[in-house]
Structure 1
Amino acid sequence: MEEKKASTLFEEMKDDVAKYITNTLELGKLEIIEKISKASSNISYVLVIAFVALFALLMLLTTLALYLGELLQNIWAGFGIVSGGILVILLILLFVKKPIRNSITNKVIRFLMESDDNEDIK
Structure 2
Amino acid sequence: MIIICGLLYRVFERDVSVGDAIWWAVVTASTVGYGDISPVSWQARLMAGLLISVMVLLVVPLITAHFASKLIVDQDAFRHDEQEELKQNLRRVRQLAEAIAEREGISVPDSAGPPSAPSNR
* Structure with higher RCO (Cα < 8 A, 6+ apart): 2
TM bucket, shorter chain: 0.3 to 0.5
Higher helix content, 1 or 2: 1
Larger Rg: 2
